[in-house]
Amino acid sequence: MEEFIVSMRAVAREAGVSASTVSRYLRGELRLNSETERRVEAALKTTGHVRHRNKLRSVALVLPELSNPYFSHLAQVFVEAAQSRSLRTQIAVSNGSREREQEILDWVLASPDVDSAVYVSMSGDQKVLGGVPAHFPLVLLDESLEVAERLQASYVGADHYGGAYQATQYLVSAGHSRIAHLAGPQNLRSARERLSGYSEALQDRGIEFDEQLVLSGPYSEAFGAASLPRLIRIKNRPTAVFTASDIAAIGLISAGQHSGVRIPEDLSLIGFDGIPTGAWTSPRLATVVQPYSELAHMALDQIERQWRGEDTQPFNLPMTVAWGESVMPLQSGVV
First to last CA, the chain: 82
Residue 335 has pLDDT above 60, yes or no: no
DSSP 8-class letter at 118: E
254-269 mean pLDDT: 95
Q: Is the pLDDT of residue 96 over 80?
A: yes
pLDDT of residue 28: 65
Give the whole-angstrom CA distance, residue 134 versus residue 148. Answer: 10
Same domain? 222 vs 247 = yes
Q: For residue 274, what is the DSSP state?
A: -
Q: Do 228 and 199 fall within a single domain? A: yes
The total number of structural domains that make up the chain: 3
CATH number for the domain that contains residue 139: 3.40.50.2300
The predicted pLDDT at position 14 comes to 87
Least reliable range by pLDDT among 101-110, 206-215, 221-230, 271-280: 101-110
Whether residues 133 and 168 fall in one domain: no
Are residues 216 and 254 located together in one domain of the fold?
Answer: yes
What is the predicted pLDDT for the residue at 316? Answer: 92
Task: Examine residue 333 and state whether it is found in any structural domain, yes or no.
Answer: no
Distance of CA 251 to the CA centre of its chain: 20
**Mean pLDDT for the stretch of residues 249-274:** 96
Find the CATH number of the domain harbouring 33: 1.10.260
Q: Is residue 139 domain-shared with residue 90, that is, in the same domain? A: yes
88 lies in which domain range? 58-158+292-317
Angle between helices 69-83 and 246-259 (to 10 degrees): 150
Find out whether 257 and 225 touch, Cβ atoms under 8 Å: no
Mean pLDDT of 53-81: 92
| Residues composing the chain | 335
Residues 38 and 101 in one domain: no
Local confidence band at 333 (pLDDT 50, 70, 90 cut-offs): very low
Write the single-letter amino acid at 91. Answer: I
Nearest to 249 by CA among 219, 229, 214, 276: 219
| Residue 233 Cα distances to 183, 213, 214, 215, 218, angstroms | 18, 11, 13, 13, 21
| Percent of the chain with pLDDT strictly greater than 90 | 64
**pLDDT classification of 100: cutoffs 50, 70, 90:** very high
Q: Is 328 domain-assigned?
A: no
What integer best gives the mean pLDDT of the chain? 89
Q: How confident is the model at residue 298 (pLDDT cuts 50, 70, 90)?
A: very high
